[in-house]
Amino acid sequence: MKYSQQLNVKVKDIWEKIHQHPFVVGLGSGELPVESFIRYMKQDYVFLIDYSKLFALGVVKARDLDTMTFFAKLLHDTLNGEMELHRTYAAKLGITHQELEETKPSPINLAYTRYMLNVAQNGSLEELISSLLPCMWSYWEISKMLADYYPNSSKHPLYGEWVKMYSSNEFGSLAMWLIDLLDRLVEGKSERELAILTDHFLTTSRFEYMFWDMVYEGGDWPV
């Protein structure tokens, strides 16, 4: 079994909980309260600013030109494609660019990005990939699930564009490229080395769940 398939088995319960989370279900059914979506857009925008830096660190840690080019593309697509979706939503929702950029990250948001940035700065390329992969892979799985269970979700007047972006073949192919890269990089790694990667993958998958919960419930700083 490929390493990515082993990860997929181990993460199943966490991702299942994400698929059942009221925020995700609400995106599919169209019944998500707009206040939660606004909170998500603002928190996610500042999340993506830090997340982009992981791709820049991927360029630095890459060991060949193909991998460098791929991370450079991910960096470009995140800053200009994924974040443009957020800017477009912000305009629709009456949020200014300044408000978006100045969003104060919630405790969960900060903990999640700091965890990944710490791994990216201090760990290997394989560690960097295993910690940032759930972000892309889980969104790809969510959007496929939504397309199956809520076939009209991509036509919703507000949430449809979100569903379309993350269920696009382009987004899916980037996630698959990264999965394939990780499978190639782990060839010959010891059980001990793989256990570290698996731990990063499961930790950031849990952060994904907590992020959904935070934007749904509004987990801000207590004081």
Ligand X SMILES: Cc1ncc(CN)c(N)n1
Q: Which residues bind ligand X (CB under 6 A)?
A: 44, 47-48, 135-136, 139, 208, 211
DSSP 105: P
Task: Please pick, among 126, 127, 135, 141, the residue that the annotation labels catalytic.
Answer: 135
Residue whose CB is less far from ligand X, 15 or 47: 47
Minimum gap (Å) between residue 131 Cβ and ligand X: 12
Task: Please pick, among 82, 126, 141, 208, the residue that the annotation labels catalytic.
Answer: 208
Minimum gap (Å) between residue 188 Cβ and ligand X: 30
**Sign of the alpha-carbon torsion through 95, 101, 107, 112:** positive
Residue whose CB is less far from ligand X, 27 or 136: 136
Residue type at 170 in one-letter notation: E
In the complex, which residue's CB is closest to ligand X? 135
Residue 208 among the catalytic residues = yes
In whole angstroms, give the CA distance from residue 122 to residue 128: 9
Residue 30 tokens read as: 């169209």
Residue whose CB is less far from ligand X, 1 or 146: 146
In whole angstroms, give the CA distance from residue 4 to residue 183: 6
In whole angstroms, give the CA distance from residue 22 to residue 109: 19
DSSP 2: -
Minimum gap (Å) between residue 51 Cβ and ligand X: 7
Q: Which residues are catalytic?
A: 135, 208
